[in-house]
Structure 1
């Protein structure tokens, strides 16, 4: 089955002086499509094909610009209200929303979602199936205030009708870009002689990919650490998977390899675990860091910049630090109509 998605990421903050208090990013099939924030107060287009579309349908750009301004004011009011409700004064607070739709190209099935997070945790979500709000234990006491005054967030018609129509239109105009296939470059990285070896793939598209370690042709599930798929600034993606070699004898290294699989591509990229091919920052092998998107703090020669901490970048750019969509482990929710 082939699924496509149109998503809107919103991050609003209070007490953070170095970034805009409101940032919104629109994504189609995982690729950044548009951007706005409270400083520029307009929408920046991230795809060339969008400029062609806007010439024929300028009202869509107008809608997104207006939505950016309205949502900024709405989220600003919500943060102030939540802070007051929980008796929080000062400090850094972050309110986030992930909304959008998915369309199954083969079955025609459409699904929408609208999820909210506060200070790095699940907070409130809207169930399309039951048409009700779901609250975490933390948000339960805020239920009455939310339902009495924040209906501006819930737009069932947009999620189930307008969003899927736009998604299909965008896929038509951006078909040459959105339906392409790019294979990555794969490298083996290691920070120190005692660190895990990281298999790092960057430059692939779309984001429906898998990366894993094998031993004697069998996929490993122990002594491995899988990183998230992250966007590059050029619209492609990167990911990594670490292998702990502390219990592996040097003579057994040849039994290990890293495999990259891209959806729809039959031929996989296999990289043998070879000490001579590992890029390090204590030896002579150079390393150039490419393609982390707008708000990543640094891109240095130190390999740790690639395989290390990207949380702040993800948070401010609108990627949820509190969860990926449909990953609801650990939630305790109450329901309300």
Structure 2
């Protein structure tokens, strides 16, 4: 297995070439020292043989540090629209209830590298913090969380904020969105229904008063709307 790495911001280059045997490391190339190293006794004879071949060592070093980097940059340029796209995260502070932990949720970002940090009254705070796993979104972006576990009274007395860094840019969230769905709806819904029923009753009563003022009189009679009280009796 071999490959190379290039940091387009710092210009730093790195590369590796490794060999394995039966699922274990057998040999790897140390580019700085230009020699192969074996972590197991069985690989030492091979390492010594390859290290004595200076021409092959130089070829490996030249390819990994130069040609491999050039091809990597070409591939990045070919796929620039997708490989080098950057989408900043949306950051929110979420809490199920006033006694629940506070979760800093970052989503919709690309590429996947993000860092979380918490602030307490403007100072760094790294206690009682749990970092969640990186998860993919359906659109190819990513999401990740960091949870702050503090007591409700500590949240009330102090101001906490979450800072998310992505691709050299930072976003800060300091307003906690709490899900109050457990404590509020019952009273509100019952009150709303009572108000609706009351409005319907008032509406019906008002309509009847309005019709009476217009001289409305209930109609009784046949289906054709006549006011006659006489009815035709069928004959046998």
Normalising by the smaller structure, the TM-score range is: 0.5 to 0.7
- Give the TM-score normalised by the residue count of structure 1: 0.40
Aligned to 1:140: 40
Aligned equivalents of 1:247, 1:190: Cα separation in 2: 11
Aligned equivalents of 1:197, 1:125: Cα separation in 2: 45
Aligned to 2:178: 276
Aligned equivalents of 2:63, 2:100: Cα separation in 1: 48
Aligned to 1:126: 29
Deviations 1:233-264 (A, max 9, x none): 65433333232214862413x61111122224
Query: Cα–Cα, structure 1 residues 269 and 163, in superposed 2: closer, same or farther, change >3 Å?
Result: same
Deviations 1:149-180 (A, max 9, x none): 99xxx954542233212211122222233333
Matched, 1:215 2:114: no
Which structure 1 residue ranges, 5 or more long, are not aligned? 1-97, 285-337
Aligned equivalents of 1:134, 1:237: Cα separation in 2: 38
- Give the TM-score normalised by the residue count of structure 2: 0.53
Rg larger for: 2
Query: Cα–Cα, structure 1 residues 123 and 196, in superposed 2: closer, same or farther, change >3 Å?
Result: farther
Aligned equivalents of 1:189, 1:128: Cα separation in 2: 47
Secondary structure of the structure 2 residue equivalent to 1:249: helix
Which structure 2 residue ranges, 5 or more long, are not aligned? 51-58, 184-236
Secondary structure of the structure 2 residue equivalent to 1:198: strand
Query: Cα–Cα, structure 1 residues 192 and 107, in superposed 2: closer, same or farther, change >3 Å?
Result: closer
1:174 to 61, 79, 92: 79
Contact 2:94/2:177 (8 A) holds in 1: no
1:212 to partner: Cα distance = 1.5
Q: RMSD of the TM alignment (CA)? A: 4.7
Deviations 1:71-122 (A, max 9, x none): xxxxxxxxxxxxxxxxxxxxxxxxxxx753222446654321246899x998
Contact 2:15/2:65 (8 A) holds in 1: yes
Counting matched residue pairs gives 176
Matched, 1:262 2:198: no
